[in-house]
Amino acid sequence: MGTATLDGRVALVTGASRGIGRGIAERLAADGARVVVNYRSDARAAAEVVSRVEESGGRAAAVRADLSRPAEVRHLFTAAEEAYGGVDILVGNAGLARFAPLAEVSDEDFELLFTVNARATFLLLREAARRLRDGGRFVLISTGATRTVRPASGVYAASKAAAEQLVATAAKELGPRGITVNSVLPGATRTEAMVAGADPDTLAAARRGTPLGRLGEPADIAAVVAFLASPDGGWITGQALGAGGGLF
Ligand code: NAP
């Protein structure tokens, strides 16, 4: 078990069935939070995350919701409230990356990236503004791609940059209730999907370009989220925090 800094708190992590979201869910549970593990399609993977948390002495529940559907975002909050009485910490981690030069981006991919990365963040923040408990936390998992400008990443970066802008606004609006709102920007982070999808040269270049000399791990990003969610993180709000080993 972790440091129990989140005892008595309820955390809702979107896209927590694998990758970075899974790492965040497991870490927040180890720190004492009861955790809602949101997933879209893989019920078995989400159930595995819940089992792992419970085997380590924590508490977690899996809730299916597709964040591209507004009604399902509302339902996700309701399910969390029914399971644990309310939400203190909301981590908007679910996201989608697609890379193509502007000349080759399809209308469908543009729609998809803005729906899952930007509009879903709006839907989560709107629900957070209405329902997150006072003293709560919102953390968006954005990307270092909003800081570096590279060919083929324009639409992905634009969709995440829109989400970061909403986060910055929410920090101003929710501060009076003691709620902090921040973005965390991972660099290249070693998840199964990312390693399977990226070409080896790109991965090697990311490793070479990272002053700390390796790719990030989900646990690296989870540690930053755990800090922001903890009482010690309470004076930081409205920030976009780079977590890429110095890559950007
Ligand atoms: P991943 O392994 O592909 O996992 C993404 C998670 O989001 C999955 O659990 C997926 O569930 C869920 N998800 C996707 N669309 C959803 C939707 N419409 N509704 C609900 N859940 C949905 O991703 P990852 O690499 O861990 O990345 C997590 C976040 O970090 C993303 O926002 C990504 O942009 C960001 N990021 C990642 C990296 C990296 O190098 N890995 C770098 C910078 C930023 P299903 O499989 O069921 O769809």
Residue 59 lies in a domain: yes
The parent domain of residue 213 ranges over 10-243
Give me ligand 1 centre to Cα 176, in Å. 31
CA of 15 to the centre of ligand 1 (A): 6
- What is the atom index within ligand 1 of the atom nearest the CA of 95? 32
Judged on CB neighbours under 10 Å (0-12, 13-18, 19+), 41 is: exposed
Cβ 237 under 6 angstroms from ligand 1: no
Overall average pLDDT of the 5-15 stretch: 98
pLDDT recorded at residue 3: 72
- Residue 1 included in any domain: no
Q: Is 137 in the pocket of ligand 1 (CB under 6 A)?
A: no
In a domain, 218, yes or no: yes
| Of 116, 143, 156, 215, catalytic | 156
Judge whether residue 64 has pLDDT over 90: yes
Give the count of domains, the chain: 1
135 contacts: CB under 8 Å, gap ≥ 6: 88, 177, 178, 179
pLDDT at 194 over 90: no
Domain annotation covers residue 3: no
Angle at the Cα of 176 from the Cα atoms of 175 and 179, rounded to 5 degrees: 40
* 43 or 202, which is more confident: 43
| Ligand 1 geometric centre to CA of 116 (Å) | 10
**Does residue 39 carry a catalytic annotation?**
no
CATH number at 60 reads 3.40.50.720
According to the model, what pLDDT value does residue 198 have? Answer: 83
- Ligand 1 centroid – CA 144 distance (Å): 15
Residue-level pLDDT at 133: 98
pLDDT (mean) for 76-99: 98
pLDDT digits (tens, 9 = 90+) for 95-150: 999 999 999 999 999 999 999 999 999 999 999 999 999 999 999 999 999 999 99
Q: Is residue 122 part of a domain?
A: yes
**157 CB under 6 A from ligand 1?**
no
Q: What is the mean pLDDT of the chain?
A: 96
Could you tell me the pTM of the whole model? 0.98
Q: Which pLDDT band, with edges at 50, 70 and 90, does 197 fall under?
A: confident
pLDDT above 70 covers a percentage of the chain that reads 99
Q: Is the beta carbon of 93 within 6 A of some atom in ligand 1?
A: yes
Task: In whole angstroms, give the CA distance from residue 223 to residue 53.
Answer: 16
Query: In which band, very low, low, confident or very high, does the pLDDT at 193 lie, cut at 50, 70 and 90?
Result: confident
Q: Is the pLDDT of residue 2 over 80?
A: no
Does the residue 2 lie in any domain?
no
Q: Which atom of ligand 1 is nearest to the CA of 189?
A: 40
The burial of 44, by beta-carbon neighbours within 10 Å (0-12 exposed, 13-18 middle, 19 or more buried), is given as: exposed
